[in-house]
Amino acid sequence: MKPKVAFFDFTSCEGCQLEVLNFGEELVELLAQIDIVNFREVRSRRADNYEIAFIDGAITTESDITRIKKIREQAKVLVAMGACACLGGVNCLKNFLPMEENLRIVYGDCARYYNTIPARPVSSVVPVDCYLPGCPMNRYEFLKLAKALLLGKKPELLNYPVCVECKLAGNICAFDKAETCLGPVTRAGCNAICVTSGRHCWGCRGLVDEPNINSEKEILQKHGLTIQDILEKYRHFNGYLIEAGGGPTQHHSLSGEGQLERRPSPPLPLSGEGREVSK
């Protein structure tokens, strides 16, 4: 029997699910090995007898919490797919304003009809077995993980910074071009796609397990950023991780005085320590 797989969307642009569909021939080969029973962007038929669940999106409502718990109860393996599911992502930007103000700005006079809570990653609500970080997630990393799960294995995320991939690609360092970048503290696995394309790293894959945030802060300050500028740079994708207690091996915070605060690790580090993958 082929393992049954389901894809679920929460609060996101659903771009990570589109990345799955962008495969073409590789996806056809994968479909020969699995049975997709739930994937709203692909088919209308749905079933609740899945074994592997891929989650796209952050948790932003009370109903999301109820729904993700139900999915976790059914799934033998639960995968957080993309920055929103892994980190809370850009959705967590709303956490730095009062919820009432967010509702007023977005929904205006209709605000009273919407119920929202501070955005959070999937791991803040239920155990997560595997992670596919990035915005969007790397489709080849998805394929690697899917094949590993079929073999009863659980691949580990890379635990070195994007800078390594940048050097391998022969890129000129963003700092050498008088720009600022989060590559020194961001988890690799994207092949430094943003810097290679002429931009800088936004930190969408989250931080490495032992990020040297103090050194990164000093470099960013030397390039003209204030503590507030640095906080805003981290908050773009890592707002929950930096401010609210979710994150890698050590949870770090830049205080208003520019000092690094170290807080206890959350129950589930970014590298993933969920339930055992069934063989």
Same domain, 8 and 40: yes
pLDDT tens profile 185-235: 999 999 999 999 999 999 999 999 999 999 999 999 999 999 999 999 999
How much is the CA Rg of the chain, to the nearest whole Å?
19
Beta-carbon-side half-sphere exposure of residue 162 (alpha carbons within 13 Å): 27
The residues pairing with 261 across neighbouring beta strands, listed in sequence order, are 253
pLDDT value of position 278: 36
DSSP conformation class of 172: P
Tell me the CATH number at 105: 3.40.50.700
Q: Give the whole-angstrom CA distance, residue 238 versus residue 244.
A: 10
Same domain assignment for residues 99 and 188: no
19's enclosing H/E stretch is helix 15-21
Per DSSP, the three-state class of 123 is helix
pLDDT at 244: 54
Q: Decide if pLDDT at 17 tops 70.
A: yes
Do 180 and 115 lie in one domain? The reply is: no
Domain end position, chosen among 99, 117, 150: 150
Per-residue pLDDT, 267:
33
Pairing of strands 4-9, 35-39: parallel
Q: What percent of the chain has pLDDT over 90?
A: 74
Domain boundary among 129, 150, 171: 150
Share the mean pLDDT of the chain: 87
- The residues with which 39 forms a beta bridge, in sequence order, are 7
Q: Are residues 137 and 99 in the same domain?
A: yes
Closest CA to 90 of 235, 247, 245: 235
Residues 11 and 142 in one domain: yes
Q: Is residue 269 part of a domain?
A: no
Same domain for 96 and 192, yes or no, is no
| 205 within a domain of the structure (yes/no) | yes
Per the domain annotation, does 272 fall within a domain?
A: no
Residues 104 and 206 in one domain: no
Q: Helices in the chain by DSSP H: which ranges?
A: 15-21, 25-31, 62-74, 83-87, 99-107, 139-150, 162-168, 193-196, 213-222, 227-243
Q: Which residues pair with 11 in a beta bridge?
A: 58
Q: How far apart are CA 207 and CA 213, in angstroms?
A: 9
Q: Residue 185's closest CA among 213, 157, 204?
A: 213
In a domain, 156, yes or no: no
- Domain membership of residue 270 (yes or no) is no
Query: Over the stretch 49-78, which tens digit does the pLDDT of each residue have?
Result: 999 999 999 999 999 999 999 999 999 999
Domain-embedded: residue 268:
no
| One domain, residues 23 and 117 | yes
Split at pLDDT 50, 70, 90, the class of 264 is very low
Q: How confident is the model at residue 160 (pLDDT cuts 50, 70, 90)?
A: very high
Residue 234 maps to a domain: yes
pLDDT score recorded for residue 254:
54
Which region among 62-66, 79-83, 258-262 has the lowest average model confidence (pLDDT)?
Answer: 258-262
Q: Does the global pTM surpass 0.75?
A: yes
| 105 and 191 share one domain | no
3-state secondary structure of 234: helix
Q: Which of 150, 171, 189 is the last residue of a domain?
A: 150
Two structure tokens written together for 7:
């894809």
Strand boundaries in 98-239, DSSP class E: 130-132
Q: How many domains does the chain have?
A: 2
**Residue 273 falls inside a structural domain:** no
CB contact at 8 A, 241 and 84: no
Strand blocks (E) in 123-209: 130-132
Residue 70 domain boundaries: 4-150
Same structural domain, 255 and 128: no
| 211 shares a domain with 112 | no
Same domain, 129 and 179: no
